[in-house]
Every structure is written in C-alpha cells, then in structure tokens.
Amino acid sequence: MRSLISKLMRQDFRTLARAISYVENEIDGYQELLKSITIPNQIPVIGITGPPGAGKSTLTNVLTSQLLQQNAQIAIIAVDPSSPFNLGALLGDRIRLSQHYNNPNVYIRSLATRGSLGGLCDKIIEVVDLVKAAQFDYIFIETVGVGQSEVEIAGLADTTVVVLVPEAGDEIQTMKAGLMEIADIFVVNKADREAANRFVKNLRLLVHAKATDTWQIPVLKTIATQQNGIEQLIHQIHQHQQINQSKPRQLQLLSHRAYQLIQRHRMQDIQLNNLQTHIHQQLQQETNFNLYQFLDQNYFQ
C-alpha cells in the first residue's frame, strides 16, 4: 500500500489508473487506500458541463493546449455514457482529446456513468481525490451532456463552466432551474454563428440579477475550433479560483461531498430489486398495506 501511494504521488500514470480501477470496482482494500492518501484541496477542480453538442470536448481540448504552454500538468476526467452491454464508458467523445494522449503532462481517464442521472458517475468524488493526490496543477471534469439533471457537478467542482451555443437562446427560461443555476462562468461557444451577440446580451442580463458582492458571473464568447476567447476564459477561471479559496465556499463543497458519501454508504445494502420483492411479499400477506408502517418496521430502525 505504501509503495502504491508513493508512486501515486509521483504521478505514475499506471499506478493512478490502477488505483482508480480499484475504487471504481470496490476491490478489497480500496477504502484503506482512500484513507491513506494526502489530498491537497488547493488543486483547482474545473467542471465543464452543458447540453449535448455545445462543444465541451473541443473546449476542454483547447484549454489543455493553452495551459500546457504554461508548463501545467493536467488531469482530465471525462464522464461518458455507459455501454448497455458491459456498463463501461463509450469512448467516442475522447477522439477529440487524442492529440494529448501521449503527452507526459496530461492524464486522461474516461469514466462510465453506470446509470447515474446527474451527469457524473457514482465514484466521481473518490476518483477526483485520487487524482488530487497525484499532484496535478489542474483537474478538468467533462460531464455527459444530459441537460438540466446535470447539476451534480456544482457540488464537486471548485469552478463550474457551463457551455452553451447561440441556438440555446430560446431555451433560457426552461434552463433556469437546472444548468442556469450552477454556473460560475458561462461560455457561449461557436460564437461565430448567427444570433450569438443577442444571446450573450440576454444571458448577461439574466446573470446580472445573480451578482454577489464577491463574484459577477461572466458571460464569455468562444470559438473553440479556432481557439478564440480561450485566454479570457483561463483568466476568469483563475479569478474565480482566488475567490473560491475562501473558507465558506470550501466548507460548503466539502460538506456536500461528505453528505453524498454518507448517503451512499448508508444505502449500500438497499437494492431496489430486493425491496420490490419484500413489498410484494407483504402485499400478499396484508389486505391493507401501509407503506409507512412497512418502512418503519423494516428499514427505519
């Protein structure tokens, strides 16, 4: 264990990949591994999220290229849809990141959602902490494009970048309750398209109402395929990271992660199929089945 942790802290990619697999598959000893690592919480975790087709992978790709010019060491966690056959990640979207695969300063890992509805996978908190232990300068999490339910990233990332396209202008009102509520930075990608300026203007009016004493949510225009607007985006990420080191924000993020881990731990012995079988048995035995009595007697003790 000590040797594995030592290699992990030296950014041995094979060791990191093995450690992530241990955690994903809950191999014996994975909990001891997690308890033994040192987690530097000052490493920025940047979530890239948004609806399908917004250009999240391309934007992550060019952000990585720009930061590599500053000698940064970068980890990219790309959460993909799951294969219906083996629950593994469908890696098609990773083609856009192929130019960085052999770069010794970039680590790329695809994770499968495995049925999770929030755009992430159920072991994402642990995986991010393992990557933090490997001492990268930046950690990017690119989520599945699943629309409004993709809000889990706000409880994990220090900075959440929501990527939209000009055509989303007609959907702003319906998006308020989801993606619109979690953004620390808005990026209107493919800004060379028609109606981009009007969309940006409307979006800035919308976020103006959410301004706080410490942060005014920026709305940036990018053309990721031409690397336009990327330097300004990096600048805004750095600006937000400075604010984000405040204790209240860190406390909020850590508390949210702790809540998720506790919730998962306490639910680990509850399986929906078993619950359905148990309820079915009770329905056969009782004419007037009371769900609340059933839960109180069997699960709430």
Tokens of 257: 């992660």
Mean pLDDT, rounded, for 82-90: 44
- Band of pLDDT at residue 148, cut at 50, 70 and 90: very low
pLDDT for the residue numbered 83: 45
Whether the CB-CB separation of 107 and 139 falls below 8 Å is answered with no
Please state the rounded mean pLDDT for residues 250-264. Answer: 82
Task: Please give the DSSP secondary-structure letter assigned to residue 287.
Answer: S
Q: CA dist 161 to 46, 80, 124, 141, 295, Å? A: 7, 18, 18, 10, 41
Work out the average pLDDT over 232-257.
82
In one-letter notation, the amino acid at residue 69 is Q
pLDDT at 85: 39
The domain spans of the chain are 39-245, 248-289
Alpha-carbon gap, residue 109 to 10, rounded angstroms: 17
Q: For the segment 195-208, what is each residue's pLDDT rounded down to a tens digit?
A: 899 889 988 888 87
Compute the distance between CA of residue 98 and CA of residue 279 in angstroms, rounded to an integer.
49
Q: What is the mean pLDDT of the segment spanning 29-43?
A: 90
Indicate the average pLDDT of the chain. Answer: 82
Of the CA atoms within 13 Å of residue 104, those in its CB half-sphere come to 2
**Please, which pLDDT band fits residue 110 given cuts at 50, 70 and 90?**
confident
For residues 284 and 290, what is the distance between their CA atoms, to the nearest angstrom?
A: 13
pLDDT of 17: 92
* Model pTM above 0.75: yes
**Rounded Cα–Cα distance for residues 89 and 22 (Å):** 16
Radius of gyration for the alpha carbons in the chain, expressed in angstroms and rounded: 21
Q: pLDDT value at position 63? A: 95
- Which ranges constitute the DSSP H helices of the chain? 2-9, 13-24, 30-36, 56-68, 124-133, 172-175, 196-208, 230-244, 247-267, 272-285, 291-298
Amino acid in position 128: V
Structure tokens at 107: 């680590």
Specify whether domain 39-245 bears CATH 3.40.50.300. Answer: yes
Examine the pLDDT at 153 and tell me if it is beyond 90. no
